[in-house]
Amino acid sequence: MTPSLKFLLGTISALAFAQGVAASELRERAQELFSPLPSTIPALNDNVITDEKIDLGKALFFDPRMSASGVFSCNSCHNLATGGDDNMETSIGHAWQKGPRNSPTVLNAVFNEAQFWDGRAADLAEQAKGPVQAGVEMANTPDNVVATLTSMPQYIDWFTASFPGEQSPVSFDNFAKAIEAYEATLITPSPFDAFLNGDDAALNDDQTAGLALFMDKGCSSCHNGINLGGNGYFPFGLIEKPGADVLPPDDRGRFAVTETADDSYVFRAAPLRNIDQTAPYFHSGKVWDLKVAVQIMGTSQLGEEINDAEADQIVAFLGALTGKMPEVTYPVLPTETLTTPRPTGEVQ
Ligand code: HEC
Ligand code: HEC
């Protein structure tokens, strides 16, 4: 080897070494704030996960007959082909009604400490009972859901296999538990997880710079943990309230849950995994560009202008939170019978 080549190789390996040190320092900081996704399906409260229950929950998630009209399934607004949401400003539900809020993704939702933009449901099983009954979503009743399920022998078999030993396995509670078990499998390991787990090459230079900015600017003071959010409540507009175009005055967030004045315009710090798949942004769904959403967060939550170059790097980092989507085989659902309640179309 010629001396100059030797020198060159030495310089390259010194650089690689320096980069490795920088990466491991950044990783150590990140590991204090964030956690990688677990490598197995997480355990649930009071709900044992079995293969039978996952399969049943999947069928229920995709079954439009769980709605009064027979049109809307969970997958209508949480489409697993489009990032687990509907990519609409606010969702369209029963009888073409427009709901009040943007649909969040169901991917990785099992790791949120509470569900909904205002955290009003403690877990996914409690959550699943909401949309079925919401007039602007599926507009159904628990009794009609149970009547629909018991009209199809295949569903009775599946509930019996999923809830062995129970006297009446086909119940609204068990409907919700089966969906919760299925949702617990909707996990998307991302390059950022690989980085947290020790792979220096998992993030490119812009993503690495973006991660550093995300921590230095203070985004991570609210967006942290496994889902980079989903685990704490903050006023939207902590420093400066965004305009009514982004934060419509009629939705006061957690105020409706706690009826405490301090909770006016308080929302759950949004979970940020797969965020580049789930435009438009915020509970109002008014912002379509992720870079703009990042800059709004800068002024509203941190009192800081985030310049274009910084916002681009933060957006690059957020891209590293997009993971491998779960592979979903479209389920074949039980056939309805003559006793299956007929779809209804009236506006309620
Ligand atoms: C008509 C559209 C629509 C349908 C149908 C629907 N959802 Fe939702 N879902 C939403 C909207 C909108 C929200 C946010 C509502 C809020 O925060 O007040 C939401 C919130 C959620 C959340 C909370 C996620 C988070 O990050 O907090 C989960 C989980 C969820 N839905 C699961 C389901 C399941 C399971 C079903 C079927 C039983 C279902 N949804 C049916 C629109 C829908
Ligand atoms: C003081 C807490 C706080 C800080 C700091 C903060 N956020 Fe947020 N973030 C929130 C809350 C609360 C929401 C939900 C707002 C709403 O109701 O729509 C949110 C929403 C978001 C959203 C939209 C998510 C979605 O699903 O639509 C993005 C993107 C985001 N934040 C990124 C950032 C970035 C990047 C930073 C740093 C520049 C940051 N946030 C700083 C609390 C915070």
292 lines ligand 2 (CB under 6 A): no
User: What's the chain's average pLDDT?
Assistant: 94
What is the average pLDDT across 296-317?
98
Which pLDDT score, from 0 to 100, does residue 20 have?
Answer: 75
234 lines ligand 2 (CB under 6 A): yes
Asked if residues 159 and 149 have their Cβ atoms less than 8 Å apart, the reply is yes
101 lines ligand 2 (CB under 6 A): no
How confident is residue 95, by pLDDT bands cut at 50, 70 and 90? confident
Residue 30 CA neighbour count, 13 Å, CB half:
27
Residue of the CA atom closest to atom 43 of ligand 1: 77
What is the average pLDDT across 237-251?
95
d(CA 290, CA 210): 14
Query: Would you put residue 32 in left (φ > 0), alpha (ψ -120 to 50) or beta?
Result: alpha
Could you tell me how many residues make up the chain?
348
Which pLDDT score, from 0 to 100, does residue 1 have?
Answer: 56
Which pLDDT score, from 0 to 100, does residue 16 have?
Answer: 65
Position in ligand 1 atom list of the atom nearest CA 66: 38
Q: Which residue has the higher pLDDT, 16 or 291?
A: 291
Residue of the CA atom closest to atom 42 of ligand 2: 269
For residue 29, give both structure tokens.
């900081």
For residue 322, give both structure tokens.
């997009």
The alpha carbon of 297 and the centre of ligand 2 are apart by a number of angstroms equal to: 6
Tell me the best of 60, 63, 77 to mutate to test the pocket of ligand 1, counting ligand atoms within 8 Å of each CB and taking the most: 77
Which pLDDT score, from 0 to 100, does residue 22 have?
Answer: 84
Which pLDDT score, from 0 to 100, does residue 2 have?
Answer: 65
Q: What is the CA radius of gyration of the chain?
A: 23
Q: Is 326 a residue whose pLDDT tops 50?
A: yes
Q: What is the dihedral of CA 95, 101, 107, 108, to 10 degrees?
A: -140
Q: Is 331 a residue whose pLDDT tops 70?
A: yes
pLDDT tens track for 171-203: 999 999 999 999 999 999 999 999 999 999 999
The alpha carbon of 111 and the centre of ligand 2 are apart by a number of angstroms equal to: 17
pLDDT tens track for 200-226: 999 999 999 999 999 999 999 999 999
What is the average pLDDT across 286-290?
98
Greatest alpha-carbon pair distance for the chain in Å reads 87
155 lines ligand 2 (CB under 6 A): no
What is the average pLDDT across 47-56?
98
d(CA 287, CA 48): 39
The alpha carbon of 15 and the centre of ligand 1 are apart by a number of angstroms equal to: 48
Using alpha carbons only, give the angle 252, 255, 260 rounded to the nearest 5 degrees: 140
Asked if residues 265 and 252 have their Cβ atoms less than 8 Å apart, the reply is yes
Contacts of 168 (CB under 8 A, 6+ apart): none
Ligand number nearest to the C-alpha of 236: 2
298 lines ligand 2 (CB under 6 A): yes
Q: Is the dihedral of CA 27, 30, 35, 36 positive or negative?
A: negative
Which pLDDT score, from 0 to 100, does residue 348 have?
Answer: 45
d(CA 330, CA 234): 38
132 lines ligand 1 (CB under 6 A): yes
How confident is residue 149, by pLDDT bands cut at 50, 70 and 90? very high
Position in ligand 2 atom list of the atom nearest CA 278: 26
